[in-house]
Amino acid sequence: MLAMLKYIKPYSRSVVLIVILTLISTLLELLLPTLMANVVDIGIVNADIPYIVNTGGIMVGISLLAVVFTIAVIYLSAKVSLGFGKMVRRDLFVHVENFSLESFNKIGPASLITRTTNDIKQIQDVLNMTLRVMTRAPLMLVGGIILAVTREATLSLIFFVTLPLLVLGIFLIARNAIPLFTTLQQRTDRLNLVIRESLTGVRVIRAFNRVEAEKKRFDDANEAFRDTGIKVNKILSALFPFMMIIMNFTNVAIIWFGALRIDQGAMQVGNMMAFLQYAMMILISLIMLSLTFVMIPRAQASAKRVNEVLQLQAMITDPDVEVKDRGKKGLVEFRDVTFRYSGAEKPAVKNISFLCKPGETTAIVGGTGAGKSTLIQLILRFYDPESGVVLVNGVDTKQLTQKSLRQKIGYVPQKADLFNGTIAENIRFGKPEATDEEVLEVLQIAQAIDFVNEKEEGINSLLQQSGTNLSGGQKQRLSIARALLRKPEIYIFDDSFSALDYQTDAKLRKALKEYIQDGTMIYVGQRISTVQDADQIIVLDQGKIAGIGTHEELVRENTVYQEIVESQLFEEGGRR
């Protein structure tokens, strides 16, 4: 929680103002019972009307002033806490955007969403409450006790019974409720995870008739959330009645013993009324403090979850000084690279060495899980190798800044991620200043121009969320056009032609070859027809290189490649 204090620093002036205003308004409020006692004991007893009117006027003035100050405090506290929330959310978002993929996978998107929204809101709310209570409650408590004791020391003995009782009760309630706050946040995580998976996987769920099973999964998560919520509220619901009992008990005791003392002539009526009000102030301030202390652990649980994310060190960091390009532009080289995902027993790729030259195309083939995508992600430095080096333009990728490395690469991922907005906005993603002509040119090369032109508003047509109003192949083609527009030195296509029919696939690769010319093109392909024209084909088998060569060489000499060719010929034959 303390680590979060730095986010309040920019608001230190507002915080000081809150303290000063609360201080004044609380002192003013503490004056009221004494003035009221004087109205009764001096004004009414002596039938002194001018005194009653004057003192009454002062009391109204004080009340109005206290109200104005309190409104200002409420406004400033809201401003500080909302501003705090905005800054933490922003830092968290930026931090997560720069996360290594490993950290991202470790916490998971559902929990990251909960932490960025719900958890920060918990801290924000408690901060708001604390700002309003932190000066007011202690001052009112101490001031109330001093004024009550100096006014009626004997009657104050009642507090020796009620105050410990109140503190003990609140402590017992809080002790049971606090551990449940962390559980409640975890239940929120789970609920978010289930909702996210159910919504993104809605087609699969329907196709596999899993709607009922998903409903059950959702109900379980929803009920677990509800049950924990009810449990917390059940415990907290005891708080209010308990506090009311203590307050009423104190009232009755004061009136009872006060009446006896008045009867004995040891105390005046006005004095007892003032004492009663101070007693209420003491109890209310104690309740306010206790409630804050009950809420703080809840915010603490959330702050811990937020800090856990903020403190995750970026595993992929930029060098202090960037090394300039040494080799030819577009040169990609793997030197004896081995990489293992965190927690995995076996390396995903092992002792990989190859060279991709500018002006040439390199295709990577291999069975599922052979490590093809892993190789691509190592070039982009989404991960760093366990041993060996990946070089781009003759420089170890660790010695380039991530920005300049990725600036050199046009990447088309396996899953075409598009964003809300028009087609043109999506294509301009990496080069916002590109003209319409440039956009149309890359759409033409990516074989996307026809279906874009068929749309009423052409490149200005809106894409629904992540391009749900497009087919898989259409999304892939837009994602290819997006990478082409940047005119990078290296083009990487991770299985980006799989959703295309044979004819479009062939046309697209031909157009790409003409467009890319001097650039380096690396692509992962599943079909032999897709990879056979490449200048070199890298055959991967269970994370290792089984062979490198042209289609003709590999067909002649490489058994793994021969098996892939045969299995696909068999499939083709089977289909016919």
Ligand X SMILES: Nc1ncnc2c1ncn2[C@@H]1O[C@H](COP(=O)(O)OP(=O)(O)OP(=O)(O)O)[C@@H](O)[C@H]1O
Piece of the chain touching ligand X by CB under 6 A; list 75-83, 204-212, 234-242, 367-375? 367-375
Of 105 and 469, which has the nearer Cβ to ligand X?
A: 105
Q: Give the Cβ contact number of residue 510 at 10 Å.
A: 13
Q: Which residues of 356-365 are buried (b: 16+ CB within 10 A; e: fewer)?
A: bbbeebbbbb
10, 57, 61, 369: residue in contact with ligand X (rule CB under 6 A): 369
136, 187, 372, 408: residue in contact with ligand X (rule CB under 6 A): 372
Site for ligand X in 335-354 (CB under 6 A): 341, 344, 348
Three-state secondary structure call for residue 386: coil
User: CA separation (Å) from 18 to 12, 65, 136, 295, 499?
Assistant: 10, 15, 10, 20, 61
43, 358, 366, 467: residue in contact with ligand X (rule CB under 6 A): 366
- The reply to whether 374 sits near ligand X by the rule CB under 6 A is yes
With contact defined as beta carbons under 8 Å apart, do 418 and 466 qualify? yes
C-alpha neighbours within 13 Å on the C-beta side of residue 311? 8
126, 272, 282, 370: residue in contact with ligand X (rule CB under 6 A): 370
Measured distance CA(154)–CA(267) in Å, rounded? 11
Q: How many residues bind ligand X (CB under 6 A)?
A: 12
Of 144 and 543, which has the nearer Cβ to ligand X?
A: 543
Residue 449 Cβ vs ligand X, minimum distance, rounded to whole Å: 29
Piece of the chain touching ligand X by CB under 6 A; list 187-195, 327-335, 369-377, 418-426? 369-377
Residue 92 Cβ vs ligand X, minimum distance, rounded to whole Å: 22
Residue 511 Cβ vs ligand X, minimum distance, rounded to whole Å: 25
C-alpha neighbours within 13 Å on the C-beta side of residue 520? 22
Piece of the chain touching ligand X by CB under 6 A; list 32-40, 160-168, 241-249, 362-370? 362-370
Name 135's Cβ contacts closer than 8 Å, sequence gap at least 6.
18, 19, 22, 23, 26
Site string for ligand X, 303-342 (x = CB under 6 A): --------------------------------------x-
Q: What share of the chain is helix, strand, coil (3-state, %, to 5)?
A: 70, 10, 20
CA-wise closest residue to 347 among 495, 526, 540: 540
Residue 380 Cβ vs ligand X, minimum distance, rounded to whole Å: 13
Piece of the chain touching ligand X by CB under 6 A; list 2-10, 218-226, 259-267, 368-376? 368-376
Sign of CA dihedral 487, 475, 432, 413: negative
Site for ligand X in 101-120 (CB under 6 A): 105
With contact defined as beta carbons under 8 Å apart, do 539 and 371 qualify? no
Piece of the chain touching ligand X by CB under 6 A; list 167-175, 228-236, 324-332, 364-372? 364-372
The residue ranges that bind ligand X (CB under 6 A) are: 105, 341, 344, 348, 366, 368-374
